[in-house]
């Protein structure tokens, strides 16, 4: 009985007193477990509040703005709630009296918290730079030719549609017309603007400057009583050597100015606002970049100095002086911008005049 009890408890069967072999239990295949999903990072959205820069009144509140949103996209959102202020008309700032933020600035990279406060300033009605330049440069071209051909109601009736007997008058018309035709073609095919628009009010100021000076210069140069320098009172056939030299200098500077504009254009790919340090290229006219930050203004000054010597007319000299002062202001500002933006900017360069200014 003890043996039977032991057999029963052990679960083993015997045959003729021998123990029966154990029956193998089939093993179950391992259960495949699905990999655990990675937890997604929670996106922290921003709340953007836009206030009026003058009155500090709240103009707009934008909820759940993505952290990688740009200022340009925020302007578009603001435009939806205030259709009268399209993006080009908006100036978004961190401080009421600070500088405008760039459209490509990213929200999360700005010194703001998740609740960002910006200040809005209305830039006024805008107009494209291309339209402004075409208007500015077409006026002087047409106005000067009106005086050159002596259309009626400008001078005395007996001089209507007559021509000057002085060669320098015709030479001056060629130079003046070439200058503004070049500018018009550069506006259409060369220039790439970092800003698409400018305030509409500026076109009236700029046109008054260019058109007014063109009329003032043209009136005296093409006047029937205009008397050129004694060495220019020659026939159409003979041209003084000095006059030829001045003519060559003028066109030399015009070609140099065009070469610089092409070099600056090639620094910026289409649709990009990237800025690079301009360096001389294989074109010899660009070698002046070794000494000057804004050689386009240097060549511009040289061409108008040549035009002044050619005509020896007081309005032309005054226009050249005013233009030089304005170009110096622009050149100094651009030179400072280069020094601030690029640490490796060439230290030998001057803004507009080598080693002087």
* Collapsed DSSP state (helix, strand, coil) of residue 93: strand
Residues 269 and 144 in one domain: yes
Contact 264, 190 (CB under 8 A): no
Give backbone dihedrals phi and psi of 190, rounded to 5 degrees, phi first.
-115, -55
pLDDT at position 30 is: 60
Nearest to 175 by CA among 209, 218, 223, 230: 218
**7 occurs within a structural domain:** no
**252 occurs within a structural domain:** yes
Q: Find tokens 């001057």 and name the residue.
A: 350
Residues 102 and 225 in one domain: no
How would you write the pLDDT of the chain (357 residues) with one tens digit per residue?
444 344 444 444 444 444 445 555 555 556 566 665 555 566 678 889 999 999 999 998 998 888 899 999 999 999 998 999 999 999 999 998 888 898 888 998 898 888 899 999 999 899 999 999 999 999 999 999 999 999 999 999 999 999 998 888 999 999 999 999 999 999 999 988 877 788 888 899 999 999 999 999 999 999 999 987 665 544 444 456 677 788 889 999 999 999 999 999 998 877 677 788 999 999 999 999 999 999 999 999 999 999 999 999 999 999 999 999 999 999 999 999 999 999 999 999 999 999 998
**33 occurs within a structural domain:** no
Contact 107, 140 (CB under 8 A): no
Give backbone dihedrals phi and psi of 31, rounded to 5 degrees, phi first.
-80, 125
For the CA atoms of the chain, what is the radius of gyration?
Answer: 38
Residues 243 and 314 in one domain: yes
Single out the residue in 94, 124, 154 at which a domain terminates.
124
96: CATH: 3.10.20.90
Q: Find tokens 């009155």 and name the residue.
A: 55
**195 occurs within a structural domain:** yes
Residues 72 and 139 in one domain: no
Classify burial at 221, counting beta carbons within 10 Å of its beta carbon; exposed 0-12, middle 13-18, buried 19 or more: buried
Domain carrying residue 79: 46-124
Q: Find tokens 């836009």 and name the residue.
A: 50
Residues 235 and 289 in one domain: yes
Residues 106 and 232 in one domain: no
- Can you spell out the DSSP letters for 199-242? ETHHHHHHHHHHHHHHHHHHHHHT-TT----GGG---SS---HH
pTM for the predicted model, two decimal places = 0.79
Nearest to 120 by CA among 151, 87, 147: 87
Separation of alpha carbons 27 and 192, rounded Å = 76
pLDDT at position 237 is: 43
**346 occurs within a structural domain:** no
Residues 108 and 241 in one domain: no
Nearest to 158 by CA among 166, 167, 150, 170: 150
Residues 110 and 223 in one domain: no
Continuous segment of H or E residues that includes residue 322:
helix 314-341
Residues 230 and 90 in one domain: no
Dihedral angle at the C-alpha atoms of 101, 107, 108, 112, nearest 10 degrees? Answer: 70
Contact 180, 141 (CB under 8 A): yes
pLDDT at position 12 is: 45
Structure tokens at 225: 């009583």
**29 occurs within a structural domain:** no
Residues 120 and 161 in one domain: no
Residues 90 and 239 in one domain: no
How many domains is the chain built from?
2
**286 occurs within a structural domain:** yes
Q: Find tokens 């939806």 and name the residue.
A: 80
Separation of alpha carbons 265 and 253, rounded Å = 18
**141 occurs within a structural domain:** yes
pLDDT at position 281 is: 93
């Amino acid at each position: 009985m003890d043996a039977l009890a032991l057999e029963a408890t052990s679960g083993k069967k015997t045959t003729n007193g021998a123990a029966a072999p154990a029956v193998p239990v089939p093993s179950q295949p391992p259960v495949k477990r699905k990999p655990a999903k990675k937890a997604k990072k929670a996106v922290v959205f921003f709340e953007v509040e836009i206030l009026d820069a003058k009155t500090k009144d709240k103009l707009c509140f934008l909820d759940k703005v993505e952290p990688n949103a740009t200022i340009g996209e925020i302007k578009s959102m603001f435009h939806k709630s205030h259709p009268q202020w399209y993006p080009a008309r908006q100036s978004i700032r961190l401080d009421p009296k600070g500088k405008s933020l760039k459209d490509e600035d990213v929200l999360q990279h700005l010194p703001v918290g998740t609740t960002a406060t910006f200040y809005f300033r209305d830039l006024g009605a805008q107009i494209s730079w291309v339209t402004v330049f075409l208007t500015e440069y077409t006026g002087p071209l047409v106005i000067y030719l009106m005086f050159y051909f002596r259309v009626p109601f400008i001078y005395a009736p007996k001089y209507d549609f007559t021509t000057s007997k002085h060669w320098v008058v015709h030479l001056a018309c060629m130079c003046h017309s070439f200058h503004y035709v070049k500018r018009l073609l550069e506006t259409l095919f060369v220039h790439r603007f970092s800003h698409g628009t400018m305030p509409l009010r500026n076109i009236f100021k700029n046109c008054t400057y260019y058109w007014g000076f063109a009329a003032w210069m043209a009136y005296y140069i093409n006047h029937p009583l205009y008397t050129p320098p004694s060495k220019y009172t020659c026939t159409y056939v003979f041209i003084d050597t000095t006059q030829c030299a001045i003519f060559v200098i003028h066109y030399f500077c015009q070609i140099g100015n065009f070469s610089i504009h092409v070099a600056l254009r090639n620094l910026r790919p289409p649709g990009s606002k990237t800025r690079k340090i301009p360096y001389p290229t294989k074109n010899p006219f660009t070698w002046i970049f070794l000494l000057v930050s804004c050689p386009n203004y240097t060549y511009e000054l040289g061409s108008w100095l040549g035009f002044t010597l050619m005509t020896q007319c007081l309005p032309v000299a005054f226009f050249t002086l005013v233009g030089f002062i304005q170009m110096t202001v622009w050149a100094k500002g651009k030179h400072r911008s280069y020094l601030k933006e690029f640490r490796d900017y060439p230290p030998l360069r001057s803004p507009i005049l080598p080693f002087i200014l």
